[in-house]
Structure 1
Amino acid sequence: MPLAPSFAAMLMTEDGVRIDAAHTPSRGAAELGIVLAHGFTGSLRERPTRRIAHVLSGFGGVVSFDFRGHGRSGGESTVGDLEILDLDAAVRHTRMIGYTRVAVVGFSMGAAVAVRHAGWHGQDGASGESAPRPGRPDAVVAVSAPARWYYRETRPMRQVHWAIEQPLGRWAARVGKRTRIRKGVWDPVPSAPHEAAAHISPTPLLVVHGDADDFFPLDHAHQIYGAAREPKELWIEPGYGHAESAATPALIRRIGEWVAAGP
């Protein structure tokens, strides 16, 4: 089956970074927009991401984008910190083009950003704003998300940290994966996903994690889920590995059905 056509867009973040994006029109509910947030070193142009966008477009329109420092987007990757501004621009764009209900589906780093972004807006709402900001999502799905930063207990994550922290690693990521990573350390350290999860409610949260994930073991999913308040769901998927590359069409359809069902 051919992949659904998509239409290019260029977004601008609040801090002035150009974000490359694409809109796959809905083959399902006309009012539902789904923002697709890829993992570290991923891209909207990679085939796993495009296939996920195609499946999700059966439930609503899909806006996929490249985080800063990835692909054709500007800037440098901060590996989960300032990326909340990229996601915010994508959610706002999704509303601007006419979708009245917007869900975010994130994978790995994109899942951590999705949780942090929704928690950021949740804190805004708690501070007494009279109306939600346009960037606030109506639902969040976090697939293969890390719960905390600086995790190095698995071999793949030690390799990720090498790519982030070492000059040779950053060069390899730039040449091999078109990912430009900012030098230096976070200052200040951003809130961890499990901390942000406490502020997402009343936005519904779905946490999805595989029991064969070789990057982040299941305790990450349980930590995020345990910190979040209702409404929330936790799916532990037998045999599922990590993020986009391991996601089956059947799992993505189930996620699409959950999003389309609404609160």
Structure 2
Amino acid sequence: MKKRIIWTSGGVVLLIIVSLLAAGNYFYDVAINRSHESVDLHGGGESVAAAGLLSEYEQQTKLEEVTKWTDQQSFDIVEIESEDGLKLKARFLKNAHSNGKAVILAHGYKGNSEQMPGITKYYYELGYDILKPDARGHGLSEGEYIGYGWHDRKDYIQWVLFLVDKKKEDAIFLHGFSMGAATVLMTSGEKLPAEVKGIIADSGYTSVLEELSHQLKFLYHLPAFPVMQVTSAITNLRAGYTFEEASALESVKKNKLPLFIIHGDKDELVPTEMAQRIFDMAVSKKDLWIVPGAGHTEAYTIAEEEYQERLKAFLTDALEQ
């Protein structure tokens, strides 16, 4: 009888272990592995507020205007090598009336450097040169996994050095959206060249652990523990980082640059409260703008004019520091 209990208990424990390992590998393939198709994330898509902001005609007209402008620009494909030997590529646009300033625009999860046309056009109008990298594991860049901003932070240091050394930029800003926002926040905690003047984070998450736990809850109706811990361990083995260490919260504690945090108050993909916590944790000069009616990365759509005014004011102020 005792042997049977021992064997049964052992079998149950083994089954649990095997199941957790299978789940961890599955979620790694879904969320981290480059080759897997993007899933429909909870809170993704356009909100009712954004969809109803402009008439269909106005939306089409604005889209055509930005698309036409984008098509008229000559983006150069530039390349660097990461610390771990990956070839990373970006689109670089030299301003015809360059003022010696540049912005690095960071795209979101499963995105690429062809995105963010509206804000690209606005920075160009301000006289900025524009660099739009493909994050490792995305677009034209090499890499078999998604770093969610953690390993990317080191890549962004390399991109900054590229702008300083190769393009002779005098002032550089980092501006990211969603995963790109987390990327620039994580980069802010590193030692950066003096040419970097400020950080703009639109819809960024606190940490990879918290964001993936949030998605796990809504997409799969599963508790974070122990699935996320197992997936994190597998990610550490296969990609070299853990979800726990990939933290924007910890990074902003070390940031000394001016910081502008933007977030929609209707964001369900990256909960709005994450923006408040990042802001509270930051120790540098900082500003927080919670945009009424905006879902995930919709602030520029919902309040384009105010976005531009606030952004311009932040850039001007940061350059005077």
Q: Which of the two has greater helix per residue?
A: 2
* Equivalent runs, 1:173-184 vs 2, <5 Å: 183=238
Quote how far apart the aligned CAs of 1:88 are.
Answer: 1.5
> Are 1:95 and 2:178 an aligned pair?
no
Q: 1:259 to 1:66 in 2, by over 3 A?
A: same
Among residues 259, 264, 267, which one is paired with 1:213 in the alignment?
Answer: 267
Quote how far apart the aligned CAs of 1:156 are.
Answer: 8.5
Q: Secondary structure at the match of 1:73?
A: coil
User: For this pair of structures, how many residues does the alignment match?
Assistant: 231
* Equivalent runs, 1:1-263 vs 2, <5 Å: 1=65, 2-3=69-70, 4-26=73-95, 30-46=99-115, 49-59=116-126, 60-75=128-143, 76-96=145-165, 97-121=167-191, 133-134=192-193, 137-151=196-210, 152=212, 154=214, 158-159=218-219, 183=238, 186-187=241-242, 189-201=244-256, 203-243=257-297, 247-248=300-301, 249-250=304-305, 253-254=308-309, 256-257=311-312, 258-261=314-317, 262=319, 263=321
Q: Which moved more, 1:185-194 or 1:230-239?
A: 185-194
Q: 1:142 to 1:17 in 2, by over 3 A?
A: same
Quote how far apart the aligned CAs of 1:158 are.
Answer: 4.8
Alpha-carbon distance between aligned partners in 2 of 1:184 and 1:24, rounded to the nearest angstrom: 32
Alpha-carbon distance between aligned partners in 1 of 2:249 and 2:293, rounded to the nearest angstrom: 24
Q: Which runs of 5+ in 2 are unaligned?
A: 1-64, 228-236
Aligned CA RMSD, in angstroms, stands at: 3.0
Q: Secondary structure at the match of 1:150?
A: helix
Q: State the TM-score, normalizing by the size of structure 2.
A: 0.64
Q: Which runs of 5+ in 1 are unaligned?
A: 122-132, 166-181
Quote how far apart the aligned CAs of 1:246 are.
Answer: 5.8
**1:179-235 deviations in Å (ceiling 9; x for gaps):** xxx95683484241111111112x101111110112122210111110111311111
Percent identity between matched residues is: 23
Alpha-carbon distance between aligned partners in 2 of 1:256 and 1:194, rounded to the nearest angstrom: 22
> Is the CA contact (8 Å cut-off) linking 1:37 and 1:87 kept in structure 2?
no
Q: 1:135 to 1:41 in 2, by over 3 A?
A: farther
Mark the structure with the bigger radius of gyration. 2
